[in-house]
């Protein structure tokens, strides 16, 4: 490959028009976000001139939503929620880890200060994080995070190993991961303290199907889960 006087390969200069095109395209996309925002404001004001004045007065969401960061799975849109109705936390593969101060702080704030009545842990089929956890690969910084999912696989190894179809095994692990993250929410002091004194929030698990757009309720028996683990994870909050 020929090089220019500054030592760079000629292909680098040949790529410049393409890079410039991508840059311009990205800039146009970024600017369009502000146009979209103004359109959104206009639509909301059609609901009432005081829409944003009321929104600015504070939040009182009914739901804490814990979901995946996947760009295709947007909490408010898939559940038809309006601003102020859901408090949202998202991360790779909707994990609630006992070492993640971010997630635990969100749970504490949502339950103890906002008084949410429901906690929804929502996974989704075709989850890249769960798929990565199923593969024997070194993924660097992702390793300790994906270990949370591999722990779920270990806990349910017999059931998952009995599923011969890899696609079905993958889907089942996604569901089991949601179930275990629901249990992790139940383990927290904030949840136990609030539920045992006020009777809420209740924890739910569901999975979003990208192929159909529909939510699947995993019908997690919250009361039974709490009763089953409480003798081990009882924090003396009753």
The pair phi, psi for residue 66, each rounded to 5°, is: -115, 110
Active-site option among 89, 122, 127, 206 = 127
- Judgement on whether residues 88 and 130 belong to the same structural domain of the protein: yes
The CATH number covering residue 187 comes to 3.40.1050.10
Region 210-238 average pLDDT:
87
What local confidence, expressed as pLDDT, does residue 6 receive? 44
DSSP character string of 87-126? EEEEETT----TT-HHHHHHHHIIIIIS--SEEEEEEETT
For residues 77 and 174, membership in a common domain is answered with yes
User: How large is the average pLDDT for residues 36-40?
Assistant: 94
| Residue 221: count of CB within 10 angstroms of its CB | 9
108 and 213 share a domain?
A: yes
For the chain, what is the mean pLDDT? 90
16 annotated active-site: no
* Catalytic residue check, 206: no
From 158, 152, 225, 157, select the one nearest 192 (Cα to Cα).
225
Look at residue 238 and tell me if it is in a domain.
no
Euclidean distance between CA atoms 217 and 235, whole angstroms: 29
Provide the number of structural domains found in the chain.
Answer: 2
Domain with 50 in it = 1-57
Q: CB neighbours of 234 closer than 8 A, spacing ≥ 6?
A: 192
User: What's the predicted TM-score (pTM) here?
Assistant: 0.85
C-beta of residue 91 within 8 angstroms of C-beta of residue 184: no
In this structure, are 98 and 205 located in the same domain? yes
Q: What is the C-alpha separation between 56 and 70, in angstroms, rounded?
A: 28
Residues 40 and 132 in one domain: no
Tens-place pLDDT, residues 56-109: 999 999 999 999 999 998 999 999 999 999 999 999 999 999 999 999 999 999
219 noted as active-site residue: no
Residue 208 shares a structural domain with residue 136:
yes
């Amino acid at each position: 490959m020929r090089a220019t006087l500054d030592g760079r390969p000629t292909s680098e200069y040949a790529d410049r028009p393409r890079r410039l095109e991508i840059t311009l395209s990205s800039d146009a996309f970024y600017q369009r976000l502000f146009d979209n925002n103004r359109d959104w404001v206009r639509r909301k004001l059609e609901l009432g001139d005081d829409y944003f004045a009321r929104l600015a007065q504070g939040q009182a969401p009914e739901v804490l939503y814990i979901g995946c960061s996947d760009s295709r799975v947007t909490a408010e849109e898939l559940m038809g929620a309006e601003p102020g109705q859901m408090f949202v936390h998202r991360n790779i593969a909707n994990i609630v880890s006992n070492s993640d101060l971010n997630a635990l702080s969100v749970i504490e704030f949502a339950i103890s200060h906002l008084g949410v009545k429901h906690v929804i842990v929502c996974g989704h089929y075709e989850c890249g994080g769960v798929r990565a956890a199923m593969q024997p690969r070194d993924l660097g910084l992702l390793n300790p995070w994906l270990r949370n999912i591999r722990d779920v696989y270990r806990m349910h190894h017999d059931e998952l190993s009995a599923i011969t179809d890899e696609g079905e095994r993958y889907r089942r692990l996604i569901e089991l991961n949601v179930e275990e993250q629901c249990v992790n929410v139940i383990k927290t002091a904030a949840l136990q303290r609030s539920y045992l004194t006020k009777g809420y929030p209740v924890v739910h698990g569901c999975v979003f199907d990208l192929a159909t757009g529909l939510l699947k309720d995993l019908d997690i028996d919250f009361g039974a889960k709490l009763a089953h683990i409480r003798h081990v994870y009882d924090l003396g909050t009753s």
